[in-house]
Amino acid sequence: MRKSRIIHLIVGPLLFILCYLFLPESVFVTTAAKGAVGTVAWMAYWWVFGPVDYAITAFLPIAVNALFSFVDMTEVIKNYASETILLLLGASILTVIWEETGLDKRIASFFLRMVGTRVRTQIIFWFMLSMLLSSVLPNSVVCATITPIAVAMLNYIGEGDVKNSKIASKLLLTIAYAAGLGGLASPLGGAMNLVTVDYIQQLTGKEYMYISWVVRFLPVMLVLTIINIIYMVRDVKKDDDLGKTKQYFIEEYNKMPPMSKEEKIALALFLIATVLSFTRQLYMNILPGLKPAYVFIGCAILSFLITNKEGERLMVWKSVQTKIIWEMIYVFAGGLAVGTLINESGAAKNLGSWVSSMELSGGAVTVFVIITMTLLLSDVTSNTATAAVAIPIVISVIQGIGKNPVPYIYIASVGVNLSYMLPTSIRAIPVGYGLQPKYMLKEGWKLTLIIIVSMTLLCTAMLYYWPMFSQS
C-alpha cells in the first residue's frame, strides 16, 4: 500500500511536468497555458487515486501558481472565499443543528415514508426533484440543499458511510448529475445560460423570450433525462430496497414525539435560507446585496443563538467546527481555482483557437466537436466560464463558414451545462460527504461518451429536420 501511494504521489507532479514541457505550442501557445493544463492533470490524478486528502489537492493551484506565476494570484485566491464557498459553509452549519436537535432523523423518516424504500424509486425521485428545482434555480444552491437531506436519510437507514456504500454513492451522484442537467431546461438555470442569452440577443438584435429556450430544449431534456435515469438504475435490481419496508418507516415516523421547539427553529432557519435563495428575483431590487450565500451565512449565525429548555446553547463553535464538511468546501474551491488557471492563462482560448483552425462544415462533425469541447471544458472549469470562452468561439467558427450561428449556440449550451467526470463545480459537494472521486470518474467517463454520441446524433437531426431549432 505504501509503495502504491508513493507511486501515485510521484505520478501527479510528473504529469504536470510532462504537460508543461511537451504539450504542443501549436495548440497551447504559452508556458502558462501548458502549466494550467498540467495542474488540471495533476489534480485530477491525485483526486482519483487519493495519495493525499482531497482537500490538500484542492490547494495545488495556489502552490503551483506561487512557483510559476501563471496568472495573477489574487484571481486564484479569491476562489477560496467566493460567494458559493460561503453558501456551502452556511448550508453545512445549518445541517449541523439537525443532528443536535434530532431533526435529521425526522426528515429522513419523512422522506422514506413518502418515497418508499425501493432503490430505483429513490434514484428517480431525487433525480427529478433536483432537476426540476435546478431548472429555475442555481444548481449550486439546489445541490447544497438537497444533498444533506438525502445524507440524513442515508444515515438513518445505516448507509451513511458513503465511501463504502454503493447505494449512497449512487444516490449522491444522481443528485449532482440532475442538478447540473436541470440548468439546461431554462435560462433561469444558471449564469451560464444568461451569458448565452446575451450573445443571442447581440446576434439577433431582439429581446430573447425565455419560453423559446424551453421549447427548443424540450426534446434534448427528455432524451437526456431518460439517458441519465436509465444509466443510474442500470445495475439496480427491480426489487433492491433500503433494507426496510415503507410501512416500517411510516410506523417509525408515527412513533416520533411532537416536533420540539429547537427542531422547529432549526427547520425554520433552513427553510428561510432555502426559500429566500429560491425566490431572490422577488426582492433583489429591494435588497440587492442579499444574495443566497449571504442568506445562508446570516441564518447560520442565527443558529448559534438557539438554546434548549435549560437555557444552554445548542451550537458552540468549538464542537460545530468539527462537524462542518470542510473537505467539500475546499474541493469546490480548488475546482474553481484550477478553472481560473485554465481561463486566465489563455489555455481555454488556445483550445478554442485550435478548434477554429479545423475545416468544419457545420454538419455532424461540427456538432460533435462543439459538444465534446464544451463538455470537457465544463468538467475542468465552471459552466459560466466555459460559456464565456466557448460561445464566442462557436459564433466565430460558424459565421466563418457562412451559417447561422444561433442553433450552434444552443448546441454548445448542451455541453456547457453538462459535466460528469471530475469533482469540480457542484460535483465537489457529494465528494465532501464521502463520495469517492474514483467512483465518480468510473461512472462519469462512460456517461460522458454516451452523452457526446447521443447529443451529436440528436442535435444534428434537429438541425436538419426541426426548423424551430435551426432558425433564429
**What does the block give as the cell for 393?**
468561439
List b or e across 316-328, with b for residues whose CB sees 16 or more CB atoms inside 10 angstroms.
Answer: eeeebeeebbebb
> Angle at which helices 437-465 and 406-417 pack, to 10 degrees?
160
Q: What is the pLDDT of residue 226?
A: 96
Residue type (1 letter), 443: E
Helix (H, G, I), strand (E, B) or coil at 236: coil
Q: What is the pLDDT of residue 73?
A: 95
Q: What is the pLDDT of residue 60?
A: 94
Q: Nearest Cα to 94, choosing from 265, 327, 291? A: 265
pLDDT of the chain, 472 residues: tens digit per residue:
688 889 999 999 999 999 999 998 888 889 999 999 999 899 989 998 889 998 899 999 999 999 999 999 999 999 898 888 888 888 888 888 888 888 888 888 888 888 888 899 999 999 999 998 888 777 887 888 888 888 888 888 888 888 889 989 999 999 999 998 988 888 867 777 877 888 888 888 887 777 888 888 899 999 999 999 999 999 888 888 877 777 777 887 888 888 888 889 988 998 898 888 777 778 888 988 888 889 989 999 999 988 877 888 888 898 888 888 888 888 888 888 888 898 889 888 887 778 777 777 778 899 999 999 899 888 887 777 788 778 888 887 888 778 888 899 999 999 988 889 988 888 888 988 889 999 999 999 999 999 999 999 999 999 888 887 766 6
pTM, two decimal places: 0.83
Q: How many CA atoms lie within 13 A of 166 on its CB side?
A: 12
Q: What is the pLDDT of residue 221?
A: 93
Distance (Å, rounded) from C-alpha 181 to C-alpha 189?
9
Q: Distance of CA 419 to CAs 101, 342, 448, Å?
A: 37, 16, 7
Q: Nearest Cα to 345, choosing from 6, 15, 64, 97? A: 64
Q: What is the pLDDT of residue 355?
A: 75
**What does the block give as the cell for 273?**
435560507
Q: Distance of CA 469 to CAs 190, 211, 215, Å?
A: 21, 13, 9
Q: What is the pLDDT of residue 472?
A: 62
Neighbours of 19 (CB within 10 A): 20
Tracing cell 470518474 back to the chain, one arrives at 441
Q: What is the pLDDT of residue 1?
A: 61
Domain range list for the chain: 81-320
Phi and psi at 307, nearest 5°, equal: -125, 160
Residue 241 DSSP one-character state: B
Q: What is the pLDDT of residue 17?
A: 95
How big is the chain, counted in residues? 472
Run of H or E including 28? none
Q: Distance of CA 245 to CAs 117, 155, 159, 237, Å?
A: 6, 16, 15, 16
